[in-house]
Amino acid sequence: MRKTVLKKSDLRIVFMGTPEFAVETLKALIANKYRVVGVVTQPDKPVGRHGSVLQPSAVKQYAQKKGIPVLQPEKMKDPEFLQQLKKLKANLQVVVAFRMLPEVVWSMPKYGTFNVHAALLPQYRGAAPINWAIINGEKKTGVTTFFLDKDIDTGRVICQSSYRIYRTFNVETVYNALMKRGADLCLLTIEKILSSNGHPESIPQDQLITAGQTLRPAPKIYKETCDIDWSHLSAKQVYDFVRGLCPVPVAWTTLRDEKGHDTTLKIYKVSVPGISREVAAGTIIVENKRLYIAARDGEQVEILELQMAGKKKMSAKDFLNGCKNLTESHCVKSCVSV
């Protein structure tokens, strides 16, 4: 009896994703003539001063241009949504930068549901893997495709592709590179699904953990996460922290003057000159029209680009030109009791 071979035309794909990062993969599927029968994305987000304008996700905008049906459930277990999803008759689901799916959703397609994750799993499971890899000073990251299961980012790994992080790279650089690499890895994963008649080889993540290896998480980043802790971070760690949050959501600190007045400063770019002083962490140092802040043990971090609340982003030189009275009597909150 002749064996049936799974062909590209046999696939009916539902794509799930929300931000720009996911659009690149959706574009790749369309460009390679895969049949995407539907897209699932987040509900439109209120924007503007009063939240009166609804902004569709980047994935929705692209899907609508291509005439692909879009579903936007508030809750993934909503019976009406599940009925709509079943009507699409998908036999494969692809997920990129989306929310956690219940089993009733990820188990629905015949060939399963796989996720494109911007890290080398099992490292950096969670919502912000690119940020945390840079914040932690990693020299390597990558992209993983894996089948979804009941826990977050723990499913069997199908494919991986590594990427080197250079010291000068920030989140934007790595994000753009992994966005493209993720699209390529998605296509390779689907090719493996086709060539294996829907049953590609996959590896349990436990088998990828080496003896003594510490797994680092990648939790969601909030505003308070981005506050620079000068008293506990070395100058190098501050450098990695800043580039791990640049250009968004961006690291910040609070400048306090001698009268106790606070000003929030967003920090976009710093350098580490390799010099120290016997001063408290968080101390402001102005020298030769350059701005430094002391990290742990007095290690100095030079501030290169910053932004005051309500102002445009500027160089430290322009900032100092507008702050003639800035001296070492000023500091950031890490060096005072608050």
pLDDT digits (tens, 9 = 90+) for 124-161: 999 999 999 999 999 999 999 999 999 999 999 999 99
Task: Answer whether residue 336 shows pLDDT above 50.
Answer: no
Token pair 């008759």 is found at 89
Give the span between the Cα atoms of 90 and 27, in whole angstroms: 18
Q: Which residues pair with 256 in a beta bridge?
A: 262, 331
**Which residue's structure tokens are 């971090």?**
301
- The values of phi and psi at residue 27, to 5°, are -60, -40
* 131/247 Cα distance (integer angstroms): 11
Smallest Cα–Cα separation from 198: which of 12, 1, 2?
12
In sequence order, which residues have a C-beta less than 8 Å from that of residue 276 and are 6 or more positions away?
Answer: 297, 298, 299, 300
Digit-coded pLDDT (tens) for 200-255: 999 999 999 999 999 999 999 999 999 999 999 999 999 999 999 999 999 999 98
Q: CA 296 to CA 22: how far, in whole Å?
A: 38
Residue 26 has pLDDT above 70, yes or no: yes
**Beta partners for 286?**
291
SS3 content of the chain, % helix, strand, coil (to 5): 30, 25, 45
- Please name the helix (run of DSSP H) or strand (run of DSSP E) that holds residue 239, with its range, or none: helix 235-243
Residue by residue, what is the 3-state secondary structure of the chain? CCCCCCCHHHCCEEEEECCHHHHHHHHHHHHCCCCEEEEECCCCEEECCCCCEEECCHHHHHHHHCCCCEECCCCCCCHHHHHHHHHCCCCEEEEECCCCCCHHHHCCCCCCEEEEECCCCCCCCCCCHHHHHHHCCCCEEEEEEEECCCCCCCCCEEEEEEEECCCCCCHHHHHHHHHHHHHHHHHHHHHHHHHCCCCCCCECHHHHCCCCCCCCCCCCCCHHHHECCCCCCCHHHHHHHHHCCCCCCCEEEEEECCCCCEEEEEEEEEECCCCECCCCCCEEEEECCEEEEECHHHEEEEEEEEEECCCCCEEHHHHHHCCCCCCCCCEEHHHCCC
- The overall average pLDDT reported for the chain is 94
CA separation, residue 147 to residues 76, 169, 180, 195, 285 (Å): 18, 30, 20, 17, 51
Neighbour count for residue 43 (Cβ, 10 Å): 13
In this predicted structure, the answer to whether residue 173 has a pLDDT above a threshold of 80 is yes
pLDDT tens digits, 87-127: 999 999 999 999 999 999 999 999 999 999 999 999 999 99
